[in-house]
Structure 1
Amino acid sequence: MIPVLDDTLLADPAALATADGAGVLRAVATAGAQVRSAAQSAADAGLADLAGHRPRALVVLRRPGASGAAGELLGALLGAQSPVPFVLTDVVPSWVGPLDVVLAQSADPTDTELAESVARAVSRGAEVVLSAPAEGPVAGAGAGRARFVEPRIPVPPGLDLPRALAVGLSVASALQLWPGGLDAHLDPLADALDAEAERNQPGHEPFMNPAKSLALRIAEHTPLLWGTDPAATAVAGHGATALATHAGVVAHSADIAQAATATGLRRAVDLAEQGTDVFRDPFDDPGPDAPPVRLVLLATGEDDPGQVAVRRTGRGWPADLHHPVDEIARGTRDAGLLRAAVLASRLDAAAVYLGLATRTIEPA
């Protein structure tokens, strides 16, 4: 059964505040603060001491929650330009040793598999950067032997991607893996996220609020979140998880070239573009149980995403385009990173708005 959308809720800030008794929207708005806090925590952990250390490999542990999405996005952003191998894995590989740097993050202090990986990495002499709650087996596994980046801003599950990404960026920057380096405090990233939070605040009408607008567009549809570049594809994966977490919505995420090979999805997109027959009687012909698809193209690069889609798939696509070049102008330094973070935050907010408007998120 498709959840019933109360679209009037999104136009009523007071009603939204009442529905959001748990403060999930306020947590989404902390994205910029999470970045600043993580950057400061990374500095306090002495990550700057890694400068001049060129590891054999940067090993990023992919655990349930934001660490997996942050690892995917960090790997996509570094891409082939990383001067050392970037290894994204669920557990520490058997070959890890003193020449490697291991980044481990989790919001679960009792993640036994992660605790074992951290213990294995430090016992083999690897440089370990650990970000996890201060109490529990995970923190204990690295106590006194890992650089501990303390999470300082508590948020509900699924809303800590900005923190996890900031820690990963701090590690990459300290190791001089990021081309041109990054601001030590990650202020440009935090500022971009603060600006997105301002655009998405509950007091703005849907036509002025990109997250509300997106929520309304994908409501009562099956969202297809397709990226036109690697960073956008990573963000799409995070968006699908956010929709499942906050709105109970099942979404498909993929790189557009890969998605275009799925003939069933291609047909569904084309059928959705044809629209609903206004003469159809819903009682005589109730139609399919599955909601129609809504294609959302995500892009972080400089080129027009429609043209990229044609170049990569050989055809145009009827889609909602999310390519924040108005927010992050072409030619801006690290524009791909900033746009990816903005899109991830927008998807988080859209998922929360949709969850509130369908009562999937229950009042506290």
Structure 2
Amino acid sequence: MTSLPDDTLLDDAVRLGDADPDGLLRAAARAGAQVRATVEAAADAGLSRLEGERPRAVVLICRPGLSPAVCELLSALTGPACPVPLVVAERVPVWVNALDVVIAHTDDPGDTVLAESVDRACRRGATVVLTAPADGPVAAAAAGQAVHLRPRVTVPPGFSFAAAYTAGLLALRALGLLQVDTDALADELDREAERCHMQHETFVNPAKSLALRVAEHIPLLWGLDEVATGVARHAAQVLSTHTDLPCDVADYQQAASRTALHRAAVRAAAGRDIFADPDDGDGFPAVVAPRTLLLAVRSTPGDPVRHQAAQVLPAVDVLAPGQELGVPEPIGAAVLALRFELAALYLGLAAGTTGGSGRYAPANA
């Protein structure tokens, strides 16, 4: 059974502050600052050496933590028309050499697998772009060889999505594979953090509203496009970090092929069985009812996937803040990712699965 949130906490700034003595909400709100700091670090580390280069392949190293979502997002943003193969791998492939570019991120300075991969890639002459702590085996493997973007904004482990994402965007931009305005990205993340500030009440706070929508439910995070599915991957990561809610992540077409789960989502969205006895097997107990959230980043007129989802799940919320704000896809994806990060924190603080002491402490603290 999932932990039940105290929803009155969300609109009580004093209690929220007491429940968050480590300043996790403030750390998440520093996403814009992480973007600016990463841009500065990239300039100082000489990332500009990639400009004008056309590598044989770009390898995105997928390590535990934030990397899977970042890799999926970067791959989706470049799209199938990318003139250079983008390879996602858990470690550097054996064929990597001086013709290739490797992009990697970790919050774990002692990730020996990544350290070995960075060392191997550097010894073979590949250009390595790394975001990782300044000390430890990973940093030692990168020393003097990789473009190592050390963190300049201090945040707890697991809060460096904006830095990792920005580093990948900057590398792809330098290679001419993707366009992004990092100043606009940082500014929009600052605005999202302000919209979702703890002082704003739930009815005007997008992150708090999102937290209440998924509270006491099993979130089904289904992407209506490849970029949105990458954001959903990050959403599941932060929800699993700060709450005990299990999540399902898939693109909508894949979700539709999961017949029983998709049928349950349709039934729940239609409001059927709301009076069913939770013990009779016909309905969902309130704490495990599914809540479908459709995520969208790309806006393609006449998109058949979005049309299908609207026909089958007409009452389900579609989360597309980037489209509402009229910002490019890389920025819209980052805004949606930050909204989920803050929502997960609000829900975790209200349920006591993350944050401070007393009734808000994790059970095993």
Question: Normalization by structure 1: what TM-score?
Answer: 0.92
Question: What is the aligned counterpart of 1:354 among 325, 347, 353?
Answer: 347
Provide the residue aligned with 1:94 in structure 2. 94
Is residue 340 of structure 1 aligned with residue 333 of structure 2? yes
Q: 1: distance between equivalents of 2:74 and 2:93?
A: 19
Q: Deviations over 1:326-345 (max 9, x none)?
A: 6522xx4xx11111111000
Q: CA deviation at 1:285?
A: 8.8
Q: 1: distance between equivalents of 2:268 and 2:6?
A: 23
Provide the residue aligned with 1:320 in structure 2. 317
Identify unmatched segments of 5+ residues in structure 2: 358-365
Q: 2: distance between equivalents of 1:43 and 1:143?
A: 17
Q: 2: distance between equivalents of 1:281 and 1:256?
A: 30
Is residue 26 of structure 1 aligned with residue 20 of structure 2? no
Provide the residue aligned with 1:69 in structure 2. 69
Q: 2: distance between equivalents of 1:36 and 1:337?
A: 15
Q: Deviations over 1:174-222 (max 9, x none)?
A: 11111xx434xx1011011111001100011111011100100110000
Q: CA deviation at 1:307?
A: 6.7
Question: What is the aligned counterpart of 2:240 among 241, 244, 266?
Answer: 244
Contact 2:269 2:313 in 1 (8 A): no
Secondary structure, in 3 states, of the residue corresponding to 1:134? coil
Q: Deviations over 1:130-170 (max 9, x none)?
A: 22111111111121111111111222232211110000011
Specify the code of the residue in structure 1 equivalent to 2:168: G
Provide the residue aligned with 1:182 in structure 2. 180
Contact 2:274 2:283 in 1 (8 A): no
Which deviates further from its counterpart, 144-153 or 85-94? Answer: 144-153
Q: 1: distance between equivalents of 2:21 and 2:158?
A: 17
Q: 2: distance between equivalents of 1:285 and 1:251?
A: 21
Contact 2:24 2:355 in 1 (8 A): no
Secondary structure, in 3 states, of the residue corresponding to 1:248? coil
Q: 1: distance between equivalents of 2:255 and 2:280?
A: 34
Q: 2: distance between equivalents of 1:124 and 1:217?
A: 49
Q: How many residues align?
A: 356
Contact 1:216 1:354 in 2 (8 A): yes
Provide the residue aligned with 2:170 in structure 1. 170
Identity %: 50
**Residues 113 and 283 of structure 1: CA distance in aligned 2, closer, same or farther (over 3 Å):** closer
**Residues 195 and 305 of structure 1: CA distance in aligned 2, closer, same or farther (over 3 Å):** farther
Q: 2: distance between equivalents of 1:360 and 1:345?
A: 19
Q: 1: distance between equivalents of 2:19 and 2:262?
A: 37
Q: CA deviation at 1:81?
A: 2.8
Secondary structure, in 3 states, of the residue corresponding to 1:360? coil
Q: 2: distance between equivalents of 1:319 and 1:259?
A: 14
Root-mean-square deviation (CA), in Å?
2.2
Question: What is the aligned counterpart of 1:258 among 240, 254, 272?
Answer: 254
Alignment of 1:50-199 (within 5 A): 50-178=50-178, 181-183=179-181, 186-199=182-195
**Residues 85 and 247 of structure 1: CA distance in aligned 2, closer, same or farther (over 3 Å):** same
**Residues 261 and 148 of structure 1: CA distance in aligned 2, closer, same or farther (over 3 Å):** same
Which deviates further from its counterpart, 305-314 or 199-208? Answer: 305-314
Contact 1:309 1:316 in 2 (8 A): no
Q: 2: distance between equivalents of 1:351 and 1:149?
A: 27
Secondary structure, in 3 states, of the residue corresponding to 1:168? helix
Q: 2: distance between equivalents of 1:277 and 1:65?
A: 38
Q: CA deviation at 1:73?
A: 0.6
Provide the residue aligned with 2:362 in structure 1. none
Q: CA deviation at 1:64?
A: 1.1
Alignment of 1:31-50 (within 5 A): 31-50=31-50
Q: 2: distance between equivalents of 1:284 and 1:276?
A: 15
Identify unmatched segments of 5+ residues in structure 1: none
Contact 1:299 1:305 in 2 (8 A): no
Provide the residue aligned with 1:232 in structure 2. 228
**Residues 246 and 143 of structure 1: CA distance in aligned 2, closer, same or farther (over 3 Å):** same
Q: 1: distance between equivalents of 2:275 and 2:245?
A: 29
**Residues 104 and 89 of structure 1: CA distance in aligned 2, closer, same or farther (over 3 Å):** same
Provide the residue aligned with 2:298 in structure 1. 301
Specify the code of the residue in structure 1 equivalent to 2:176: Q
**Residues 119 and 11 of structure 1: CA distance in aligned 2, closer, same or farther (over 3 Å):** same
Q: 2: distance between equivalents of 1:304 and 1:321?
A: 16
Q: CA deviation at 1:277?
A: 5.1
Contact 2:323 2:332 in 1 (8 A): no
Which deviates further from its counterpart, 163-172 or 133-142? Answer: 133-142
